[in-house]
Every structure is written in C-alpha cells, then in structure tokens.
Amino acid sequence: MTAEVEERLERLAQLIAGSPHNLVGPRDRDVVRPRHIDEALAIARVFTFRSGQRWLDLGTGGGLPGLALALTHPEVEWVLLDATRKKVEEVDRFIVELGLQNAATRWGRAEDLARRDGERGVYDGVVSRAVGSLPVVMELARGFLREGGYLVAIKGPAVAEEMRAARAAAKPLHFQAITSRPVPDPERSTVLVTMRAHGAPPARFPRRVGEPAATPLGG
C-alpha cells in the first residue's frame, strides 16, 4: 500500500468519525480505522477483485466497505447504494473529498433499483456488510448480478446459524458454490460468505419493497 493510499484511508476514517449523521456509533468514533476500515480491507485477503470489474456496495451506510475498497482497488468500478438519502449525500461528499474517480452512488431501495435497466444483471459482484440476514442479503443482491457474478457478504461469527436458510434460499435465487471463510486479522471476529450467481436474475426476485426482510426465503 502506498503512502498516498494510506493517507487517504486515514482521511476516510476522519470523515466517517466526524460526520454529523452518526455513521458509526459514539463508541466507534475513535476506532473507525481498525474496526471498520481495516475490516473492509481484510476482505481482499480472502477474495480477489479483478481489473475492469464493476461492483455494488449494497447498503453502504457511511461508505463501507465500498470507499475503502475503491481506494485500494482503483482498477475496479464501485457503486455505493443506500436507501437513506442523507447517507448517500454524505458518501458523495467523501468521494469528492478523497478525489475518487472510480466510485459513484445510488439512492433508493434495492428492491426497486434491481429492476431498472442499467442496474439489473450488470454487476460482476455485490458486497454487503451489516444489511440483514443472509437470505435477505441474497434476495436483495441477486437482481444486480450477472451470470457468474459473486455475492460477498461480511458477517459475524453467528453466521453459522444463517447458513441453513441461506442454502435453502440459494435454489430459487439461482446461487451456487456457497462458502464461508474467516477473515484474517480483523479487530473483531469476522466471516466472509461468498456465493456465485448462475443464470440471469430470476424474474420474480426481488419481491416488493419490504417483503424480503418481512418473509425471508429459506425460513
């Protein structure tokens, strides 16, 4: 990692911690770099992002993991999606402040955006952190993924309890090759769950706004 990238990561930590929009909890403001940014960067030790790919950060919140990965992977295009407008506007400010040329935002609900031309079935991958249970994340992500695209979900150690439902949800959503691996050296215990899309997004998914969370698949 170059000194310039390191400086920009530190600046990102400062921007997130100093935001008036409570992008992290009060107790996390002093540990944004080790607890949040370094966790995001650790993903790349487990999963390889390839030059020329286009990735979506689903439920980016304050810009993580998308902005951290955009800083360290300038050869990849990153689109950061969130349903909360003030968070998207704040992430837009961060993008300008950091001088990122490979990052952009989307505001809206995944259930709606995943059905729009130019968004449906066009992404090489979707990364998600702290959005919901695995079946919910899978349904929200699937509409964005092209054939062979990857879902990469950052989860806590309790993810083992979600895996049964995730494997059941995989069939109707057309996911395969589900794996879970520990992320090395994060400040807190973290697991990376990956899976690959096969075929085009199933026509009936995602369901209407709110349905994936209210009645998750695989339950």
What sign has the CA pseudo-torsion 86, 152, 70, 147? Answer: negative
- Does 11 map to a domain? no
Q: Which strands make up the sheet holding 77-82, listed edge to edge?
A: 103-107, 77-82, 54-58, 123-129, 145-155, 191-197, 175-182
For residue 12, tell me if it sits in a domain.
no
Q: Total structural domains in the chain?
A: 1
Q: Where in the chain does DSSP place strands (E)?
A: 54-58, 77-82, 103-107, 123-129, 145-155, 175-182, 191-197
Residue 1: per-residue pLDDT: 81
* pLDDT for the residue numbered 3: 95
As a whole number of angstroms, the distance between CA 116 and CA 125 comes to 17
Domain that holds residue 204: 34-214
Per-residue pLDDT of the chain (219 residues), as tens digits, is 899 999 999 999 999 999 998 888 878 888 899 888 998 998 998 999 999 999 999 999 999 999 999 999 999 999 999 999 999 999 999 999 999 999 999 999 999 999 999 999 999 999 999 788 999 999 999 999 999 999 999 998 888 889 999 999 999 999 999 999 998 766 778 899 999 999 999 999 999 999 999 999 987
What residues are paired with 56 via a beta bridge?
79, 126
Asked if residue 6 is part of any domain, the answer here is: no
CATH number of the domain encompassing residue 123: 3.40.50.150
Contact (CB, 8 A) for 123 and 195: no
pLDDT the model gives residue 186: 62
Is 60 a member of any domain?
Answer: yes
pTM of the model: 0.95
pLDDT of 56: 98
